[in-house]
Structure 1
Amino acid sequence: MKIFRGIMNSILVLAVVATFLPGCKKLLGLSRQENYDYKKETLDPNIHMTAREFLLKRADGTPEAPNDTVFRWMKKGLDYCGLDLSEYEKAGRTFIFLHNDAVRGFNASGVMDKGLFFTFPIVNLDQNGNPIMNPLTGLPQTHPATKWEDYSKETVKNFFLYLIGEGIHNYYDLNAENRSVQSLLPPNSTATKESLLGYWDPSLPGFNGAGGKGFDPQGKFTLRIQNNADIAPIVFNDRTSSRSIGFVATNGVVHVYGAALYPSK
């Protein structure tokens, strides 16, 4: 009888495991799931290329995947500001990549309502080239950017320098506490004032009618793990959660974001 009960208990345990872990059903032969979607890439974070190669591959597409251009708008910005792409080949770095949606994101109606171009819009100028101020907010009137060329090359270059961190900071190295990371952006860099980024004041933080530096005074950003019921994202500067993380390049790690990033911690 004890032997029989032991066998029954084992069967029950296996049944429970099979119920909650669909992958185990296949192993136990209890189910034949035709739609079981196993991809090696989800288990192997290594992309076997440099961050630069990863950027270019998914910005311009390839013959095998011509529509994979999720970094196209990031590359447009890099081309415009003239940042040397060899920075994405140097070892021991954490690279923050911008999905197209992080630059210019649209809602179902086709209206831009997110992304850098929407979050840091372009200042409206009068016929004399002076900002048209809103008397209620004390801030300039604005309109969303439509292209990188709406911003100064200096500001765009500084923005991308800010998205390259020194040292490798991956999912397994981070926790729920903010880790401060030194970027390539020189301390005390200031955003020009053709957009609201030039009115962003990290010391407040918020938009300041008198103008602000726009960038973190120390050229640092923070990363931390956000614990939630779903996938735990990496939060950038306590504001923006990652879209996908932990692409291990041959020279560092890449984290991808699909919403606007504020360049101050």
Structure 2
Amino acid sequence: MKIFKITINSILLFAAIATVLPGCKKLLGLERQKNYDYQKKTLDPNINMSAKEFLLKRADGTPEAPNDTVFRWMKKGLDYCGFDLSEYEKQGRTFIFLHNDAVRGFNSSGVMDKGLFFTFPIVVLDGSGNPVINPTTGLPQTRPATQWEDYSKQTVKNFFLYLIGEGIFNYYDLGADSKSLQSLLPPNSVTTKESLLGYWDPSLPGFNAAGGNGFDPQGKFTLRIQNNADIAPIVFNERSNSRSIGFVATNGVIHVYGTALYPSK
């Protein structure tokens, strides 16, 4: 009986508190609960604009989103080489976009440790304009690029031509096996040798002390789905996972990358 009495007193005490504190009503479930209907929403991949408009909007920002400049460094490269932006308005294409991190990425200490400028650094020249060679590797000594102007205009232009594929290949058009796309880059294009990209040999693949073409000899790149536990990125040339994918433009599809892209299969 003593145990029963304590239990009754406890219940009365909690009920008294609940009448004073609304929060306790919620805790005890005495307050009528509001009904919240779960509404399933699917993000609309349609951006209702051309790839060119999407690029410019998120390179320069807008009055509504002035800090949305994730493609600023991609746009800087296009401007430098005089790229014809009408290529981003033509129909039936797969566009590979470069997030700022894909061009120049920094770690938490503010040191550049990723991106195109770091992956394909600039060759160091001696007083006579000749590459300073590392005796161990046989490759030129290098330094990270700091601007697009460190590369030749033709190399930069060819790089961006390589990032536009013929045909539309979105997530549901791809599978676990690599799909080869023809880019706008003409076959047998060769990069100049002001950077380590000029020593990239797609036939190895790797850096070749004798130099390499840099670009895929067929002007093609590959895409495939990587089946992971949590995400399924689109892999570019078997090396780089996408940052975001499937932006459906009025003239094609856009996939965005945040790491350096190697321009060869």
User: 1:40-55, aligned counterparts within 5 Å?
Assistant: 43-55=43-55
Q: Residue 31 and residue 224 in structure 1: after superposition, are their counterparts in 2 closer, same or farther (change >3 A)?
A: farther
What is the match of residue 12 of structure 1? none
Match runs of 1:51-200 below 5 Å: 51-200=51-200
1:250 partnered with 2:213: no
Q: Deviations over 1:25-44 (max 9, x none)?
A: xxxx99859xx9x996x521
3-state SS in 2 of match to 1:91: coil
Instruction: Tell me what 1:25 maps to.
Output: none
Q: What is the Cα deviation at residue 230 of structure 1?
A: 1.3
Q: Which amino acid aligns with 1:222?
A: T
RMSD: 1.7
SS at match of 1:222: strand
Report Cα offsets for 1:141-173 as digits up to 9, x if no partner: 000000000000000000000000000010010
Shift of 1:222: 0.1
Aligned residue number for residue 7 of structure 1: none
Which residue of 2 is the match for residue 233 of structure 1? 233
Q: Under a length normalisation based on structure 1, what TM-score does the superposition of the two structures give?
A: 0.85
Deviations 1:82-103, CA, capped at 9 Å, x for gaps = 0100000000000000000000
**Gapped regions of structure 1 (runs ≥ 5):** 1-28
- Summarize deviations over 1:196-255 as a string: whole Å, max 9, x none: 000000000000000000000000000000000111000000000000000000000000
Secondary structure of 1:238's match? coil
Q: Structure 1 residues 249 and 132 mapped into 2: Cα distance closer, same or farther (>3 Å)?
A: same
In the alignment, the residues of structure 2 paired with residue 54 and residue 229 of structure 1 have an alpha-carbon distance, to the nearest angstrom, of: 30
Once residues 173 and 30 of structure 1 are traced to their aligned partners in structure 2, the CA distance between those partners, rounded to angstroms, is 44
Distance change in 2, residues 1:136/1:252 (3 Å):
same
Number of paired residues? Answer: 233
Instruction: State the match for 1:264 in structure 2.
Output: 264
Percent sequence identity over aligned pairs: 85
Q: TM-score, normalising length from structure 2?
A: 0.85
Runs of 4+ in 1 over 6 A off after TM superposition: none
SS for the counterpart of 2:261 is: coil
The code of the aligned residue for 1:206 comes to G
How far the C-alpha of 1:117 sits from its partner, in A, is: 0.0
Where 2:241 maps in the other structure, the secondary structure is: strand
Amino acid at match of 1:143: R
Task: Name the CA distance, whole Å, in 1 between partners of 2:99 and 2:36.
Answer: 37
Counterparts of 2:109 and 2:252, CA distance in 1:
38
Bigger Cα Rg: 2
Bigger mean CA deviation after superposition, 54-63 or 42-51: 42-51
